[in-house]
Structures are given as C-alpha cells and as structure tokens.
C-alpha cells in the first residue's frame, strides 16, 4: 500500500488486484467506478499506431458517459490488429457484466509490451475480484497497479473551500520512459467532485494537459497507449461550473492545474534511470512555437542529457542545440543562455564573466534550470526533462527480459 497522502473523491471508487496478466505477484489490474452522472473527458496519444484500447476508449467516450474505467499493465494491446480490438471489447464486456451497465460505458486502458496479444483469462478471473474490492480509499493500490517501469506510485491531491463547499481534486499517473509531448508512455487519471459543464471540462483538459503532461519529455519517444482522463462527479454540492470566468471556476482551475503539474513533475523525477530533474525555460521568443522548438531541441539532445548526468558544464552542447532548433529566424548575437543563475552565453559566444567552476556547481545539483532568452519577441515556454544515465540504457535494453 502506498504511503502517499491524498483525499478520496466522492463518487469515485477503485479496486486493484494481482491478476497475473504478465507477472505472478504484482498489482496489474485496476477497475475505477464512477458515480452516475459523472462527466469525463479524455486526451490520447497522437501516435498513428494507436493501441486497441485507445481506439475503443475514444469510441466509448463518444457514445456514452462512462461508469467504469479498466486499466491493465503487462501488455499494451498495441500492434495487435482486429484481434486486439476484440480483446479490448471483451474486457469491457467483463466489467459491464459485473457493473450491470452497457459495454460502451466501460473505458479500457492498457500499458506494457507492444505487439503481444492480450491474455483474457486473467481478466475473467481478476475483474470480479477488482469489482469486489472497490473502495473510495483505493487510490494508493491503484496507483501501484498502473505502474510499469516506474519505481514508485504517483498521486497528487488538493482540497479547497469554494463558496462554502469543500472540493477535492485527486489524481494518479504512471510513466517513466517514452515520455514526450503528444503524451508519453503514460496514463493519468484526475478526478474532482465538482460538476463541470461538458464543453468546459473538455476545454480545460486540453489546456491542463498541454501545460503539464505535454510539457515533459524523457527521451523524445511517443508511445501508442498514452491517455489522460479528467472526471467530474458533481458530488461536492457546489453549483455546476459553467462560466470559465467565474470566481469558482478560477479557484477550481488553480487546484486542477496544481494536480496536473505535480503529477507531470513526478513522472520526470521517476524517469527511467534519471538522476537530475531539469527545467528548460525559453523566453523572448518570436512566438510560442519557436519557444517550444528551442526547449524541446535542448531537452531531446542526447549530448546535453549525458552532460547533465556527468555534471559536466559543457555549455557548447546547449549552444549547439539552440542553434539547430527548427526556428525560422535566430539572431545568435541576441541569444543569452543561463545555467541556473550563471550566464553562459551572450553576444554569440561565452559570457565574459563565466567561470567553469560556477557552471560545474550548478550541474552538480539534483534540480537544474537551463534558461534561454532568444531576444526576438515576447513568447515563452517551459519544458521539464531529465538526464540520460547508464541505467536508462540498461532498463530499456532489458525491458522484455
């Protein structure tokens, strides 16, 4: 059981079991029950080899309000063709039979090895046990039950008083590699007990995901199974949020944003083999696209990431990454680069006051800021990433062993 602190969300119950889907003694099957009239929105991977559960999840969300989410680890059910689609639908049937609902009121999610068939017998045995274990206090075990190469569960939770009502936001996420904008090999589930109008729920989910899960990267890869769900049970007693400009909406949005960003940062901190947490901040860009392009080019550079692991202030690698970023215009004489509060680069070369010892002191930290000002405009962005270590190579080389 996780010892993370969190608050239950009224209207959400979770049950987790060891179903033996791939490994005999790990939590690997989660059922999440949503109260009637819960509203839900989802965002999914943009990888064109989308997994079968992603296709079914989108189809079911478009057809009906979900009553249950089904999550399994071990096998991704991706690259499995029509058989994979049938297996995903069958798993939904098994939950629907337990919950006395329609198949399209069950939304499936899978994570694990790509290209192998989803074994259904563990689902037939495990789903009744998971449904029997449903509890509003089941977040801790569920956060463990969705992990793959993660070393620890991720839960974030917030409470606030809004117009005299106590409202709760709690979420869990998994993911340690193949993390990149457009989602990563990650699953995330965030719930609140506030009622939110459907259009606003969908709008907020996209905004919140872009500022959190779509602002992290480990290795530049994008998985086939990524998904993020935002659910609103409406059981807090607070009036439905319909106006994004209201005081209640602003207060709730702030709590949601904190949970989304806490989970996103937790994914990067537990990235495969990571020893450094790195924030890349780009400002004075011509537009948001240029800012993001520069930040991601730095974040995806194996040379930068290995220098971070070695605590080597090899600022030339950062300079080179900025210079090759796919932006239309870049005046190198205007670019400034900082490592923490140490100015590395200005006027097209090394800053006159830069000392190697100062750069090395910043690189030795566990949390590092790389700050780039382009000098071409007012747009800015932020990306969170990590270093590349020996363990990253080992974990991914041995992943299927």
Residues marked as catalytic: 185
The answer for residues whose C-beta is within 8 angstroms of residue 352's C-beta and 6 or more apart is none
Mind giving me the DSSP string for 170-219?
EEEEE-SSS--SS--S-EEEEEESS-B-HHHHHHHHHHHHHTTGGGB-SS
Burial 359-376 (b: 16+ CB within 10 A, else e): beebbeeeebbbbbbbbb
Pairing label, strands 277-285, 227-232: unpaired
Q: Which two tokens stand for residue 300?
A: 């995806």
Q: Which two tokens stand for residue 350?
A: 């090394």
Rounded-to-integer distance, Cα 322 and Cα 188, Å: 31
Residue 177, exposed/middle/buried by CB under 10 A (0-12, 13-18, 19+)? buried
Q: 134: closest CA among 4, 237, 8? A: 8
Pairing label, strands 277-285, 367-373: parallel
Is the CB of residue 344 less than 8 Å from the CB of residue 351? yes
What is the number of other CB atoms lying within 10 angstroms of the CB of residue 353? 9
Please name every residue paired with 216 in a beta bridge, in sequence order, or none if there are none: 384
To the nearest 10°, report the CA torsion of 174, 176, 178, 184: 30
Rounded-to-integer distance, Cα 161 and Cα 168, Å: 9
Is the CB of residue 179 less than 8 Å from the CB of residue 222? no
Is the CB of residue 123 less than 8 Å from the CB of residue 92? no
Residue 71: phi, psi to the nearest 5?
A: -130, 130
To the nearest 10°, report the CA torsion of 259, 196, 10, 263: -10
């Amino acid at each position: 059981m996780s010892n993370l602190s969190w608050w239950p969300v009224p209207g959400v119950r979770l049950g987790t079991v060891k179903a033996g889907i791939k490994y005999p003694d790990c939590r690997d099957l989660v059922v999440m029950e949503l109260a009637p009239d819960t509203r839900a929105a989802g965002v999914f991977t943009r990888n064109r080899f989308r997994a079968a559960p992603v296709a079914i999840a989108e189809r079911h969300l478009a057809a009906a309000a979900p009553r249950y989410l089904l999550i399994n680890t071990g096998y991704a059910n991706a690259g499995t063709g029509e058989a994979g689609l049938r297996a995903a639908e069958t798993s939904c049937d098994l939950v629907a039979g337990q919950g006395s609902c329609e198949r399209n009121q069950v939304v499936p999610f899978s994570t694990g090895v790509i290209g192998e068939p989803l074994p259904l017998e563990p689902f037939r045995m495990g789903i009744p046990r998971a449904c029997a274990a449903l509890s509003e206090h089941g977040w801790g075990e569920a956060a463990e039950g969705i992990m793959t190469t993660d070393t620890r569960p991720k839960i974030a939770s917030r409470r606030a008083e809004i117009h005299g009502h106590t409202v709760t936001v709690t979420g869990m996420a998994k993911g340690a590699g193949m993390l990149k904008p457009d989602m990563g090999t990650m699953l995330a589930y965030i719930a609140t007990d506030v009622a939110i109008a459907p259009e606003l729920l969908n709008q907020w989910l996209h905004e919140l995901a872009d500022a959190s899960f779509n602002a992290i990267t480990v290795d530049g890869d994008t998985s086939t199974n990524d998904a993020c769900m935002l659910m609103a049970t409406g059981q807090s007693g607070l009036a439905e949020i319909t106006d994004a400009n209201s005081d209640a909406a602003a207060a709730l949005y702030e709590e949601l944003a904190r949970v989304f960003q806490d989970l996103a940062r937790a994914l990067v901190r537990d990235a495969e083999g990571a020893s450094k947490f790195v924030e890349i901040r780009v400002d004075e860009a011509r537009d948001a696209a240029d800012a993001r392009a520069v930040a991601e080019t730095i974040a995806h550079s194996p040379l930068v990431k290995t220098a971070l692991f070695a605590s080597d202030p090899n600022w030339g690698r950062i300079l080179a990454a900025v210079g090759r970023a796919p932006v239309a215009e870049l005046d190198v004489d205007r670019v400034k680069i900082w490592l923490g509060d140490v100015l590395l680069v200005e006027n097209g070369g090394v800053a006159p006051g830069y000392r190697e010892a100062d750069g090395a002191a910043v690189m030795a930290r566990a949390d590092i800021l790389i700050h780039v000002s382009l000098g071409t405009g007012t747009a800015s962005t932020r990306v969170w990433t990590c270093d590349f270590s020996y363990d990253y190579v080992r974990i991914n080389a041995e992943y299927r062993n």
